[in-house]
Structures are given as structure tokens and as C-alpha cells.
Homo-oligomer: A and B are copies of this chain.
């Protein structure tokens, strides 16, 4: 299938709509303002010289480019003169400061002009990729082609350097991104050379010459350990990995490359069956921000970068388009409601980079020396990071989140995500009236739609549809549409276990409710969340909480009590205790708190 573009879809209620509005009203400015304060915006003036503050970093172009991409999406749907002015001003600076040869990179022009294309690990092509994505987005959003033309010139230059002259000191980028961006450039311009360049990067990856890395790195870190078609597990830096896999899926689609498609499928299965947190987070360690090994999913040490969750959704969305299988849209939903949106505070102003599944405040005080301590994720969101990739990534995903709702394949329309919305496309019209995710009741109306496929969420154990349907690849398929379709997905709390190979979760379970993964915070319970046990005869009541953007739960359970001894005879001394839980993504919005997703069961 292809997705029905966000440009053709209007959200009008529910969780995703609220987050989209928050992004437009608050988060866009919050990110831009922090980028001003940190010098990222001024850097585009190319005026930095040695001795001045705010020396440009080699990844800054990409931070701002993602914000520009988000701005473009917003401008497609509404007038936003302030955002437009900021965006145009940045494009002015890009036009002014772009090299005559087409090259554009702040750091490698202003700070280290002699080092252009000498260091594979310096995100040079990654920055280019994000600029390309922003340019395509702006062109598609508004029809204005100035930015796209500038970036075509840049892409042509990169083509020359890497394909014609082979004059760079490396063959493929250390941080993938340009590959998928080049596919977007190809789709927007029709220029086959961009597809060729993307394929060149993909096909060259994992050859020996790509393995020259910094000593602390390994080829696995950048997915350069073996040719991509031979890779069978998700490895290395998780964001790089999923950007790569997304490009592989794009190219499998564009070139009908079965081998590439098979590799994507094998890797995707490896992620979701063995290396993904229940929140949709990926990346089990902060050391290298990498995937580790199957079933290694530590909770308090989870890295689960916001960008990594986003990158997994990108990959899942592309696999969905290749396979028309609802299980991919399930992953998108898991990410959207949990491991991605946890990166954004409820007020829209601050961000997590890491999204752990457990917070123990004791971990932050237990090391006597601040110079010699284990590192754990921060416990309260902040406005900007030194490496501030996640905030603008949230900007662009939320601004274009309507992209994930509907798909089409010839005369079949797919409902992949549930949200009150209207889509108009190619003479067809489809709408959802629903308060989803508050309830699972959805009324669907269509015009000129012959066949409708409605995703049956994997979390849903029982549902009703008021018309005849068959099920296929996770969808309820409705062939003869006649009037309003009513769907009701029962949204009940459920108790979930992880595979016993996830050592960290043995004896424990998580609670989910509809698309939400739940978490217990000490602010709602007691300080020691490890003394709590969920009753295995699971009994929970759910209430929708507008402020916490999802279900809050009261779960029947117990509190274990021990005497003051450090060690004593084992006892079954439990008191009844009602465990209060909130949506995982809303954790850490009410001050410092212990938190956990996985809780003991008895």
C-alpha cells in the first residue's frame, strides 16, 4: 500500500490530534527557541570564527533541518506566518552560504574546511540527508521549489564526489540517513541518479573499506560488518540501524529487490520478536546507543532513545507498505502511544533522549564520587540536549502524524491507525468518528471506497463490527460497503508477560490498556515499587484521565512486608494494596518519582 499523505488527512480529535496541536502551539517554538539560544540557528549565517562562543557542531545542520521539515508539514495544512518566516529565513541563509559547487555544511565550511569528506563518523552525509528531507517536505507541502533546487544542487555534488570522482576518504556514511532521503529526493524530482546514489551507499555498505572506524567503534556499530543483504539481526547504533533498514525497505520497493526485502523482513522480525521494549523503544544500552543481543532488555538501563523509537516506526511504516500486514501498523501504534511520545513532556516543552522502563532514584545517589559512577537516564525532561536530535524529530513526526492513519492500494483503503479524522483522496472520502483512544468505538463513513481494511489491533482480545467482514493479515476486510461501519474494540486492562528469556522481567508482568503501556510511579503509590505485587488473578479498573492523556488504572495487588532484618526466614507476609498506574508515556511529569513498567506478580 501507499499511505494517504498527511496533506489529505485532517485529524479532528483524540490523542494524536492533541499531540499534533501541542506540537504546533508549543513544541515547535520550544525547540526553535532553544536552538536560537544554543547558536544552532545563527550558525546558518556562517559567521562563526575561532574564539567566538557556540562553535557549530558537525550535527547541528541536521537538528535544524528536522525542525524545518516539521515547519513544512505545518505550512501544508495552515497559515503560520511566523513559522514560514523562520523557515524562509533559514532557506535564505542556505542559499547565501551554499558553496558554488553545491556543498552545504556549516561545520565543514566554517570550522574545518580542509576536512570535507575525510571523516566517515562526522555526520556530514547525515546532515545532508536531513536537509534533503526538509526540502522535499517543503516542496510537497507548498509547491515552492527554491529549497529543493538548492538541495538538488547539493545532491548532485555528492553524486559527483562519491560516484564520479570517488574523491571522498570513505565510501559510505557512518550515520545513515542520506539513503532514505535520496529516495525521497528521487520521488520528488524523478531524477534517477538519486536512486542510484542511494543504492550505491546501500550496496557498498559492509565492504571492507567501510570498516575504518574510530578505535572505540566496531563495524557492527554502523551496520558495516557485512553487506546489508546478509544482515539478519538488528545491530549497532539503533537509530542508524533503523534509518538504514528504512532505506533498504524503500529501495526494495523501488527496485523490486527480493533479497533486500527479505533482509528487511528478517531484521524487522529480529527487532520486534527479540530486541524491542514493550514500549516500542529500542537500543538496550547507552554504551554506543546500540542494540545488544536477543532478549537483553534491561529496564533502568534501557537507552530506548526517542529517535530510535521514531526510526523503528519509519521502518515499520515502510514494511507495512511493502506487505500490507497490520502487524507493522501495530508497531507504529506501540511507538506512537508509548516509547516515542514519552520523549515529550505533557506541557510540550521538554524532552527525554533516553526512555527507560524503570527509574530508581537510589541509582542516582548511590555512588560516592561523581567522577566514578554508573550512568543512568535523566529523570526529568529538559529543553535541549548537547546532541539535540530527539526534540526536532518529535516536531517532524507530530507535524506529519496524519501520514500514519490511512493507506491505499488500488481501490482498497486501509485504516492503520484510529483517530477522529477525515481523509479525501483521489475522489474517495473516508472518515472516522471516535473518541479513540478513550474508547475503542469507531464510526466509519466512506465515499467511493470499494474495499476497506480496518486494522484489528494486536492488543485487542475481542471486538465487534456491524457489517460482514473477513480477516486477512490482521485486518478486518469489508468488501461491500453500505452505510456507516461501526467498530468496537474492547479496551480492557490486560496483564502481559515477556518471554522468559528476558531475564530482567522474570516473575514480573506489565499492564497494558488498549494501545497504552502502563507504569507505576511512586508519586501515586509508595516509594518502594519493588515491594508491590500484582495479583495474578488480574483485576484492574481503568479511568480515562485527560491530564495524563490516557488511562489511569487501579490494579489489585499486594505489598510485601518484611521486618527490619536484612535477612530473615522467608515469609508470605503481604498486605492488600491497590497499585495505581498511569500511561507510561506520561511518567515523570509530576516531579521526581520512582517508576516501573514491569512489576512482580503473585
Residues of A participating in the B interface, judged by any CB pair closer than 8 Å = 215-218, 220-221, 235-236, 272-274, 276, 278, 284-285, 287-288, 290, 292-293, 295-296, 360, 362, 365-374, 494-503, 506-510, 528, 530-531, 533, 536, 538, 560-572, 600-602
Contacts and interface: CB of A to CB of B under 8 A. Distances in A.
A289 to B, nearest CB: 10
Contacts of A276: 566
A131 to B, nearest CB: 30
A412 B506 CA distance: 52
Given A500-B562, A536-B572, 11 more contacts: A216-B369, A272-B566, A273-B566, A274-B566, A288-B369, A497-B570, A499-B562, A499-B566, A499-B568, A500-B528, A507-B600
B570 A538 contact: yes
A512 to B, nearest CB: 9
A506 B366 contact: no
A167 to B, nearest CB: 30
A368 B570 contact: no
A213 to B, nearest CB: 10
Contact of A367 (B285, B370, B600): B285
Contacts of A569: 494-497
Contacts of A502: 566
A497 B567 CA distance: 6
A536 B602 CA distance: 11
B367 A496 contact: no
Nearest to A287: B372
Max count, chain B CB within 10 A of own CB: residue among A216, A530, A571, A602: A530
29 contacts: A216-B371, A218-B368, A273-B566, A278-B567, A288-B368, A288-B372, A290-B368, A292-B366, A292-B368, A295-B566, A360-B503, A495-B569, A496-B567, A496-B568, A496-B569, A496-B570, A497-B570, A499-B563, A499-B567, A501-B528, A502-B566, A503-B528, A506-B560, A506-B600, A507-B533, A507-B600, A507-B602, A536-B570, A536-B572
Contacts of A215: 371
B533 A565 contact: no
A479 B141 CA distance: 97
A530 B503 contact: yes
Given A506-B530, A506-B531, A562-B497, A221 B570 contact: no
A564 B273 contact: yes
A274 B494 CA distance: 37
Nearest to A600: B507
A500 B560 contact: yes
A274 B362 CA distance: 14
A276 B365 CA distance: 18
Contacts of A367: 285, 287-288, 290, 292
B235 A368 contact: yes
A571 B602 CA distance: 12
A199 to B, nearest CB: 26
A374 B287 CA distance: 8
Contacts of A507: 507-508, 533, 600, 602
Contacts of A371: 215-217
A389 to B, nearest CB: 19
Max count, chain B CB within 10 A of own CB: residue among A292, A497, A600: A497
Nearest to A504: B530
A374 B292 CA distance: 12
A287 B369 CA distance: 9
Contact of A531 (B216, B220, B500, B510): B500
A570 to B, nearest CB: 4
A235 B284 CA distance: 31
A293 B370 CA distance: 14
Nearest to A534: B570
Contacts of A563: 499
A360 B504 CA distance: 11
